[in-house]
């Protein structure tokens, strides 16, 4: 595998070594995971900016979801601010999209697992940004819907928000 092939594969899987491990040949994973962290970070940053540019064009929540995956391999304050800005570029045309994005912000696993952008920001020491993300999550789930599944998702997110708010106010 060449370095360019490695970059292509790494970015194809949104810079997720876990996805590469799960989906690709072991030799590909071994090669990519042995590359210098600076190289992987550079590729992740390129992919993040590519997706961010695409999100600016189409407002796709799917692009935002990919941005979150890529961000996990390029965590720093500057990139967190890009993700925060990306939240405002999503086209929230239906409550289902609000529910999906709220899950990315608050986390999608049962507590005490610490996933989601709010936890990441908090763990990075960015409490102000974590609070901003929390307020955005509250806003996302404040829309009205008659869909019972989405209502349940909103209720779950509100419960998660309350738990996160307790953490952030310590």
Q: What's the pLDDT score for residue 110?
A: 65
The 10s digit of each residue's pLDDT in 136-167 is 999 999 999 999 999 999 999 999 999 889 88
Q: What's the pLDDT score for residue 65?
A: 95
* Peptide bond between residue 156 and the one before it cis (omega within 30 degrees of 0): no
Rounded-to-integer distance, Cα 155 and Cα 59, Å: 25
The 10s digit of each residue's pLDDT in 62-86 is 999 999 999 999 999 999 999 999 9
Give pTM, 2 decimals.
Answer: 0.90
72 φ, ψ to 5°?
-60, -20
The 10s digit of each residue's pLDDT in 4-53 is 999 999 999 999 999 999 999 999 999 999 999 999 999 999 999 999 99
The 10s digit of each residue's pLDDT in 104-143 is 999 877 656 678 999 999 999 999 999 999 999 999 999 9
**Among 160, 68, 113, residue whose Cα is nearest residue 168:** 160
């Amino acid at each position: 595998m060449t370095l360019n092939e490695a970059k292509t594969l790494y970015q194809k899987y949104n810079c997720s070594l876990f996805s590469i491990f799960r989906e690709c040949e072991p030799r590909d994973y071994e090669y990519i995971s042995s590359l210098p962290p600076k190289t992987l970070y550079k590729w992740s940053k390129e992919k993040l900016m590519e997706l961010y540019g695409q999100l600016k064009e189409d407002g796709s929540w799917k692009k935002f979801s990919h941005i979150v995956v890529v961000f996990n391999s390029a965590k720093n304050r500057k990139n967190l601010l890009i993700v925060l800005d990306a939240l405002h570029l999503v086209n929230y045309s239906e409550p289902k999209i609000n529910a999906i994005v709220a899950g990315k912000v608050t986390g999608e696993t049962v507590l005490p697992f610490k996933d989601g952008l709010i936890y990441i920001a908090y763990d990075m020491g960015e409490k102000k940004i974590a609070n901003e993300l929390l307020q955005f999550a509250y806003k996302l789930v404040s829309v009205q819907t008659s869909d019972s599944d989405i209502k349940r998702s909103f209720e779950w997110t509100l419960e998660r928000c309350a738990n996160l708010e307790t953490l952030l106010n310590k």
